[in-house]
Amino acid sequence: VGCKAILVFFQYGVMANFYWLLVEGIYLHILLVLIFSPNRHFKIYLLIGWGIPTIFIITWTVTRIILEDTGCWDTNEHGGPWWVIRIPILISILVNFILFISIIRILLQKLRSPDVGGNDQSQYKRLAKSTLLLIPLFGVHYTVFALFPDRSSNTYKIIFELCLGSFQGLIVAVLYCFLNSEV
């Protein structure tokens, strides 16, 4: 029971990670689209980041108990329970990818605007560069292997995700803390 509880908590952490990446994408998109938004959507962000994973992890746990209650739940003999977690994660990756493309499109439109002067244009260029460097934080790199079966691309997937995923915190720290004169 302890092993299963740890695995449930682990899967919850993984799913919550993807949904908090989605919250970051939604938040940045709202910042760019609604410049003067007096409404802060923190409760909705909390529900997305913690609530959606809770619903699907509870569903996954019940599905595992009913369909495949063998061992420590670290193997997947049947695909059904695994897709209860996998489909919501794939949806969050897809929505985040669409948000990311939309954010890049908005920034490029602002860069091409004739109203943007020299100082504003350099600000938007810096913002565009920062956004491109935030690809790992949006989880966009997960789209590369999202639809491949785990068995066929596991070695390359691990190397790719470790290389990009391991440097997420470093990239954010360098861009937004160490290179930011305000900080």
Residue 62 belongs to some domain of the structure: yes
Query: How does DSSP classify residue 178?
Result: I
Tally of structural domains, the chain = 1
List pLDDT tens digits, range 58-99: 999 998 888 877 778 777 777 778 888 888 988 998 898 888
Greater confidence (31 vs 135) lies with 31
What is the span of the domain harbouring residue 29?
1-178
Task: Give the three-state DSSP class for 131.
Answer: helix
Residue 156 belongs to some domain of the structure: yes
CATH of the domain at 112: 1.20.1070.10
List pLDDT tens digits, range 125-172: 666 666 666 666 666 666 666 656 555 556 777 776 677 666 666 766
Residue 97 belongs to some domain of the structure: yes
Task: Give the three-state DSSP class for 94.
Answer: helix
Model's pTM, two decimal places? 0.72
SS3 content of the chain, % helix, strand, coil (to 5): 80, 0, 20
Residue 183 belongs to some domain of the structure: no
Residue 63 belongs to some domain of the structure: yes
